[in-house]
A and B are shown apart, each in its own frame.
Chain A
């Protein structure tokens, strides 16, 4: 059965994934909208920065985050003076790391579905008296809803699955920064395969179910849209 440590790891992981996903949607939505609408010449630079976590080894990202957020850095010191404790090796540090690491998984699907929203749909809304913000929430967001589902599920799943960044800046403190993926690693290191199976198998099944959900949802909408 699951040990207390395993349950703590699951709790921390789920809490982390929910918080990161929520923050990612809040940050990612305006960012993706801007990228989908702007004619700014150098927007590729922003797109490349956002895509970096896709190709960088997580340890590299974790290393720079550790340096940036550690007590010796100006930013780390500033945050510490407000929060009272070090950001590195804390749950807050994990959230920051996860948000950066999973950013492309949220921004890219959102940007794609925002780009697919026809400019004309927004123009229609403006002729019907909707202000810019109103148009965004009542036209762009509903038309891009499949992008939101994909973004949320990918962001969530990817946060659950991360290992390198978490290990670098979290430090595997039980109940604080000890997450599922590290717990599995620990069990394997201790030759404790039965426990590892339990956690790994559970994660596999959950991820599979989530992806089925995404595909079903998107299919449902494309069918609705193209029926007749």
Chain B
């Protein structure tokens, strides 16, 4: 458990954040530019000083009333937006900067970090010979060598073009699945958020407006993400079988089974599924003569108008929450109400990670 209370005066507004987050998985800090995300991360690292504040990570207290632990004594890994490798050192020198300062790093540990981020081919290069994505890999490896209690990533992909982003995302997936430490990931990208976040902190003008598990944050109507026009729901699922006749695979999640085109994932692997609210339609009776494969029984939980012509519906499928965006006309003709039992038809599904 990470407990944090921070209050910092910034130009134009006050960053006033109080939250707790789980000590496992990726917590994404999401918000528009200039909302205080980076300052929040810097405060956790001790790079910004909060006059009144409290910060506890695991069993270490880094800030309390009379106590401010300086950055170099906090066990943190911090990855800056543009990697910030030392220009006067090559890749190996950058990594050894940490190794020299940490007495008890075993070779096995160092090798495991190098493998995780595929550092070996880069080790003798000068930092100016690296692409943006390679720089970030080295920066992440350098941060992890400190054996941090928390890994802080400040928009690590924002300086990269799409190709480089796609190069590094698999490495971030690896961090997600293999690291035991909590990761705090700052971004303003919805794509990165839906792919990586287990937990989401929503921040706006220095205030935390929401903090909770990713799908709850995406689907709550009192929060902005469910009204953003490209509203989505996210579930975790597992590949359970494949249909070789039609090149399909079956994914099991809490609410049932998805049938999707086979993308060669091994049976048993965990995947994350993203469903856009626009791709979900609702019927009162289960359709039989339809091309749609993914149909689930569901219950309407809440409805809100979305613009003049549409309505956003939150449904539950055996406890899993899903958003559907319909026209008002359809909602009225289907006589949808809170508590209505319906069937949802999911037209398309994106598999993340």
- Flag if A127 contacts B45 (CB, 8 Å): yes
Distance between Cα atoms of A185 and B76 in the complex (Å): 64
Chain B contacts of A135 at CB under 8 A?
72
For the complex, is B219 an interface residue (Cβ under 8 Å from A)?
no
* Bitwise interface map of B from 93 to 104 toward A, beta carbon under 8 Å scored 1, else 0: 000011001100
Question: Most chain-A CB neighbours within 10 Å: which of B45, B87, B128, B142?
Answer: B87
Residue B27 lies at the interface, judged by CB distance under 8 Å to chain A: no
Whether B97 contacts A128 by the Cβ 8 Å rule is yes
CB <8 Å contact, A129 and B72: yes
Contact mask A189-207 → B, CB, 8 Å, 1/0?
Answer: 0000000000000000000
Interface window among A16-24, A55-63, A98-106, A118-126:
A118-126
Judge whether A126 and B70 touch: CB under 8 Å: yes
* Residue from the list A123, A128, A139, A145 in contact with B142, Cβ < 8 A: A128
- Is A14's CB within 8 Å of the partner chain B? no
Chain B residues positioned under 8 Å from A134 (CB to CB): 72, 101
Interface of A (DSSP majority class): helix
Residue A225, interface by CB 8 Å: yes
Which listed segment binds A: B16-24, B78-86, B183-191?
A: B78-86
- B128 neighbours in A (Cβ, 8 Å): 225-228
Distance in Å: Cβ of A4 to nearest Cβ of chain B: 47
Q: Which residues of B contact A227 (CB under 8 A)?
A: 128
- Do the beta carbons of A124 and B78 come within 8 Å of each other? yes
Q: Is A30 located at the chain interface by the 8 A CB criterion?
A: no
| Given contact pairs A139-B86, A227-B128, A228-B128, A130 touches B80 in the complex (Cβ within 8 A) | no
B35 within 8 A of A: no
Complex: A85 Cα to B88 Cα, angstroms: 48
Question: Is A129 a contact of B143 with CB atoms below 8 Å?
Answer: no
Cβ proximity bits A134-160 to B, threshold 8 Å, 1 near / 0 not: 110011001101000000000000000
Q: Are B80 and A120 in contact (CB under 8 A)?
A: yes
Judged by a CB distance under 8 angstroms, whether B71 is at the interface is yes
| Distance A35 CA – B306 CA, assembled complex (angstroms) | 58
Check A81 for interface membership: any CB of B closer than 8 A.
no
> A residues within 8 A CB of B71?
123, 126-127
Are A120 and B84 in contact (CB-based, < 8 A)?
yes
Contact of B129 among A124, A142, A225, A228 (CB under 8 A): A228
Question: Which of A121, A138, A225, A228 sits near B84, CB closer than 8 Å?
Answer: A121
A148 to chain B, nearest CB (A): 13
Query: With A123-B47, A228-B128, A228-B129 in contact, do A128 and B101 touch (Cβ < 8 Å)?
Result: yes
Interface flag for B136 (CB, 8 Å): no
Chain A 106-124 near chain B by CB (<8 Å), digits 1 or 0? 0000000000000011011
A194 → B minimal CB distance (Å): 49
What residues of chain B lie closer than 8 Å to A228, measured between beta carbons? 128-129
Per the bound structure, the CA–CA distance linking A138 and B80 in Å amounts to 19
Query: Which single residue of chain B is at the shortest CB-CB distance from A221?
Result: B88
Closest to B129 in A: A228
Chain A residues positioned under 8 Å from B87 (CB to CB): 121, 143, 225
Residue A131 CB within 8 A of the other chain: yes
Given known A121-B84, A143-B88, A228-B128, contact A127–B102 (CB-CB < 8 A): no
Q: In the complex, A120→B129 CA distance in Å?
A: 21
Contacts of B50 in A (CB 8 A): none
Q: Is B133 an interface residue (CB 8 A)?
A: no
Q: Do A124 and B98 contact each other (CB < 8 Å), given the known contacts A129-B72, A131-B72?
A: no
Residues of B within 8 A of A142 (CB): 88
Could you show 29 A-B contacts with beta carbons less than 8 Å apart? A120-B80, A120-B84, A121-B84, A123-B71, A123-B80, A124-B78, A124-B80, A125-B97, A126-B46, A126-B47, A126-B71, A126-B72, A127-B45, A127-B71, A127-B77, A128-B98, A129-B73, A130-B97, A131-B72, A134-B101, A135-B72, A138-B97, A142-B88, A143-B87, A143-B88, A145-B88, A225-B128, A227-B128, A228-B128
- Ordered nearest first, which 8 A-B pairs have the shortest CB separation? A127-B78, A126-B71, A142-B88, A126-B72, A129-B101, A124-B84, A128-B98, A120-B84
Interface residues of B (CB under 8 A from A): 45-47, 70-73, 76-78, 80, 84, 86-88, 97-98, 101-102, 128-129, 142-143, 146
Give me 19 other A-B pairs in contact (C-beta within 8 A), A123-B71, A128-B142 excluded: A120-B80, A121-B86, A121-B87, A125-B86, A126-B47, A126-B70, A127-B72, A128-B72, A128-B98, A128-B101, A128-B146, A129-B72, A129-B98, A129-B101, A132-B72, A142-B88, A143-B88, A226-B128, A227-B128
- A: which residues have CB within 8 A of B? 120-121, 123-132, 134-135, 138-139, 142-143, 145, 225-228
